[in-house]
Structure 1
């Protein structure tokens, strides 16, 4: 109950209490208590985790083991349990165990040697039994007898099976992700980044068909330092060859064939396969520590050498410059260099302006409506390339329209883009049409012909081609975050 101040306290606490205060103050306290209890009872959502504790010592004194750390869930009455795990396990790798050291599972079985089990006074010597269903139970076989017994779970850090990578944790067989955490499932992306999204490197892919008719070694491509996930394949009586930086052949040099197998080169292992048929392959995980030169030893006309690898973004520019200087373009040659100028072709903006011949509007019908967020999201997520480009020229060619564009800003690319590209649109009346000298946001797909002779950027009919603006830039960046993984 509230207590009113006496007369001596009026100067400090304000005017004297009226008789109403004796009723009002207890009522106010009761309402505050009721409201506070009601809010607590209506608490929703999960509780909150305390910070992670420190990692424990490794479960093993040598070889591989497990370290654990934990946290605690703090929640009010009515709140749900915290989301996530209260314990986290990571792999700890110590020095190899000395020769003759008893394996961890063997040691756990041996602890029961000479002790009565199964409700009798009989004693046995126990060794691990690996034929039981649960790999993380301590299943031990009685030596000299045809039965085994399960003594419960093995200790954390016990290998699931001899020689396997998985370790038993809390009765489950878990493997470590690239982050070292058991059961995380985190993998390296193609760039070698743990848990990455393949956005710190670029994909190089091509079919080499430029060799001449005479026999001998022909240069196919340079494989730069830092390349990962290298794959080369060809199907013919010709043979792949690989040359190290010092000029020595790694395989198939000096006209002599090397046996299939694994070879050490540039800091990685190269697996060379050649079967009874005409197919040959080279594969290497990388990353390469130095350049390698890929060649083909011609014995018959070259049907094509397929090669691909991933490069760090900072390595792509120097590689492209060297490859083009050596006459090995990264995309199949396009007709820009050999085609005579046409009246319809628009020159680059820095050249003298000329009157541009355009497609006659009266010969083309209206395009379907392609506006809206759903349309933008569909084409952004389903395309191979999204980029800002300035249209330099336009040309009708048979039943296609070819745009020459300058790439200004790249939002998405599955394979590298050059500063100038051709973008092809189906039909002489493409939808939507692109006007020369204007800038657009384009979503294009990569189209490679079955024989590998054409490698194009295709702008689908009724696809995504919007005049570029700051607002359109914001919309396309928002679409990038909403694509399904």
Structure 2
């Protein structure tokens, strides 16, 4: 654009009232756009407001809705940061019995039509063994081949029994905000996208050895508790009682089988190791009423670990109630059993002496495992490669157990759960994983000879790198060089 001539500048001068004329406003805008604040700016454009959500893609069951927006920008500006479309899960009433699944309907559209360049026709049914589960892979009935007809329609379930839905050829799962592909997750307090700041973490070890065999109270688990966990390593048994006085687990001197039990509005998962003394209780919560955790002593108590998250407003009453009952909440229920003769209870004023615990020897330095050759070796030789966040770490005997949340799967020879245990040999695993950090892990599947244990094993000096976009790129690149 050329310079303004003098006469044109005079026409844009203020009027008799001193107010700028409309043409002067245009001149100011033109100046701004060419002064580096507009025309030469390299920042992104601006989005229009989101449109309304579309109708659900399905007429029954689970489907998806979509909404869109447009990017408004000048020619010199970059594209807007973000997505033009958002997808969310919509849940309609369950489909009636006998309804044809969505993927079956899409395959059936090609029934009786000539395909594959011949005049032969086939009847088609879904095929789930192909690499991309969001392609419309259909098997010719009565034949041993399948054909891919392109992508499935958006909103098609990725596979039977899973929560993922196909969008633009990709299998996406919904975050806690209901948006497909969202990374939003509930925090420990149950708030979507929260930062664990509305609840408090209670973590203790019950060490009362007990003066005789029988039931001993360990702790009160208050109403509203989440992510409950209790564990011990002994021949004793954990017991759980409701506020009505009835036992949920291991009550009345009867040991319950491992399994899932309903209590206080949540599911309690009770496990007992087939080989070894480990016993655990887990519940996601939140609990709808108080629960009482007890232990049925058969031998001296080596310690019972328990933990849960509690809303801040409930922590004060819980502390007061615990202190009123005595922190150990001791209400022993003695009974004669065929056990070792119990020792007499110590006098209340006597503090039992404790044998000092020897300080473990420091861990030796880990070997250097850097380099492309190490990455290639472990990626190709592993059963699982995935990105995970470390939630907990527990040293027991000569093993270290990590509790991790699986974020992204690169390679798996069998399904992975959202929460997994990863075992590392030795009390000093190499490399040592830090809590609350994300790693890219290469693990092996280890099944015990009797089939009672199925573990994810992180080998010594194995592949565990702090996750980063660069590590993601290296991993995807090395995957191309693994032999089939």
| Residue number among 71, 77, 96 corresponding to 2:75 in the alignment | 77
Find the aligned partners of 1:301 and 1:268 in 2 and give their Cα distance.
31
Find the aligned partners of 2:264 and 2:8 in 1 and give their Cα distance.
88
Partner in structure 2 of residue 470 of structure 1: none
| Structure-2 change in CA distance of 1:32 and 1:296 (3 Å) | closer
Output one character per residue of 1:111-139: Cα deviation in whole Å (capped at 9) or x when no partner: 01111112222211111111111111111
Partner in structure 1 of residue 313 of structure 2: 314
Find the aligned partners of 1:321 and 1:3 in 2 and give their Cα distance.
82
| Structure-2 change in CA distance of 1:215 and 1:53 (3 Å) | same
Find the aligned partners of 2:9 and 2:235 in 1 and give their Cα distance.
107
Give the Å deviation of 1:329. 6.5
Find the aligned partners of 1:208 and 1:62 in 2 and give their Cα distance.
50
Find the aligned partners of 1:34 and 1:215 in 2 and give their Cα distance.
88
Find the aligned partners of 1:247 and 1:33 in 2 and give their Cα distance.
80
Partner in structure 2 of residue 300 of structure 1: 299
What stretches of structure 1 move > 6 A for 4+ residues in a row?
Answer: 29-35
Partner in structure 2 of residue 202 of structure 1: 200
| Residue number among 157, 162, 172 corresponding to 1:164 in the alignment | 162
- TM score, norm. by length of structure 2: 0.61
> For the Cα contact (< 8 Å) 2:62–2:90, is it kept in 1?
yes
Partner in structure 2 of residue 265 of structure 1: 263
Partner in structure 1 of residue 284 of structure 2: 285
Confirm or deny that 1:239 pairs with 2:237.
yes
> For the Cα contact (< 8 Å) 2:70–2:84, is it kept in 1?
yes
| Residue number among 107, 110, 122 corresponding to 1:124 in the alignment | 122
| Residue number among 171, 191, 199 corresponding to 1:193 in the alignment | 191
Find the aligned partners of 1:144 and 1:122 in 2 and give their Cα distance.
13
Number of residues paired by the alignment? Answer: 315
Partner in structure 2 of residue 360 of structure 1: none
Give the Å deviation of 1:142. 1.3
Find the aligned partners of 2:8 and 2:58 in 1 and give their Cα distance.
67
- TM score, norm. by length of structure 1: 0.61
> For the Cα contact (< 8 Å) 1:211–1:218, is it kept in 2?
no
Output one character per residue of 1:252-302: Cα deviation in whole Å (capped at 9) or x when no partner: 111111111111100001111122322211110000000001111111111
| Residue number among 45, 51, 54 corresponding to 2:52 in the alignment | 54
Give the Å deviation of 1:338. 8.5
Q: How do residues 19-418 of structure 1 correspond to structure 2 at under 5 angstroms?
A: 37=34, 40-276=38-274, 277-328=276-327
Residue aligned with 2:79, SS: coil
Deviates more, 1:240-249 or 1:116-125: 116-125
Find the aligned partners of 1:201 and 1:103 in 2 and give their Cα distance.
42
Residue aligned with 2:158, SS: coil
| Structure-2 change in CA distance of 1:30 and 1:302 (3 Å) | closer
Give the Å deviation of 1:33. 6.5
* Aligned-pair Cα RMSD in Å: 2.8
> For the Cα contact (< 8 Å) 1:43–1:77, is it kept in 2?
no
Residue aligned with 1:253, SS: coil
Residue aligned with 2:156, SS: coil
| Structure-2 change in CA distance of 1:73 and 1:214 (3 Å) | same
Give the unaligned 5+ runs of structure 2.
Answer: 18-25, 330-347, 351-426, 428-484
